[in-house]
Structures are given as structure tokens and as C-alpha cells.
Amino acid sequence: MSKPGKELILFLKQYGLDYRFNGIDFFMSNLDTHYQGNPHIDLVERNHRYTVIKSRFNVLVLGNAQDPMFWWEHIDIDSDKLVETEFSLTPSTTYKSLAIVGSNIKERWNALGTPTAHSDNILTPSAFVKTSCAHTVNVSPGPRLIVSVGFNVDFEDLKTNLL
């Protein structure tokens, strides 16, 4: 394992957090224009059932730390605003997950209504974030790289244990 990987695991271990629930993920983008985020709930499929990734630790490696994050805290896995959708990783690799109703990002934002919370400057350079409800980030133009670890721990419990 790389030195940064070991440092991340040691950092999380001091708070009693285990990276193995969902592993370490990387999220990349490199768009020429501003991107309005696609609202979603973080899920992993296990044994043909969707399990919520309740919270994440995100580390901004490259990108604009000012990009705003939004939450719709009343939209969770039991919401009637979610539908099973097939997604494509590559032309030959697809997977199914739950998504917000609507055929495009604008329709999804409209279906959810006004976000119940938002934060600018959340990733300077890292943050624990709530992912058990609908959420998204609006992304600035240019390269963006996030290293992320998902947990089966409620964000509210994380806040209590971290303070």
C-alpha cells in the first residue's frame, strides 16, 4: 500500500473508523464548463439489496474547494422520489442502483425542491459529509479529484465522536 494510503487509514483508525465497509474510492472529472451536480444517495449493493453509505470522508486532491455541496435531508432510501436505474461505467459494464426520479439533472432538482442545507468551501482540503440523504456538489470547470472513504456510520454520530 502507498504511503498516502497508509496515512489515510491511520487517520481514520484514530477515530475508530474502518475503511473496509466500502473501501477507498476516487471520483474524477475534467469538464470545460461548470457542472450542476446530479442529486443522489450513496449506495452499495450487497446480496441484491441496497445498503446506504451513511457518511464519507472526502479528501480534495485537485479542484476548487469552494464548490458548493447541497443536501435534501428529507429524501432518504425510503423516499418515493427514488427509482431503480441502470447506469453505465463503460459501454460493456452496467450496474443498477437507485436514482432520483427524472430524466435529467434539471428534472431531478425540480423533483426534490429546494435543498434543506448547503455548504460552500466544504473541502478545504477534507471533510466528513452526510451521504445517507439526497446530496450533490456543483463542480467548477477544470480537473477535480476526490479520494473518498464511505462508512456505515451516521453523520450525526460522526460529529459527536469527532468533537
* Cell numbers placing 78: 425510503
Euclidean distance between CA atoms 158 and 162, whole angstroms: 6
Q: Where are the beta strands (DSSP E) in 1-159?
A: 24-31, 43-46, 49-52, 55-62, 69-72, 82-90, 93-100, 117-119, 126-130, 134-137, 142-151
Residues of the chain with pLDDT under 70: 163
Is the sign of the CA dihedral 109, 110, 112, 114 positive or negative? positive
Per-residue confidence (pLDDT) for residue 146, from 0 to 100: 94
Per-residue confidence (pLDDT) for residue 87, from 0 to 100: 80
Per-residue confidence (pLDDT) for residue 4, from 0 to 100: 85
Per-residue confidence (pLDDT) for residue 163, from 0 to 100: 62
What pTM, to 2 d.p., does this model score?
A: 0.90
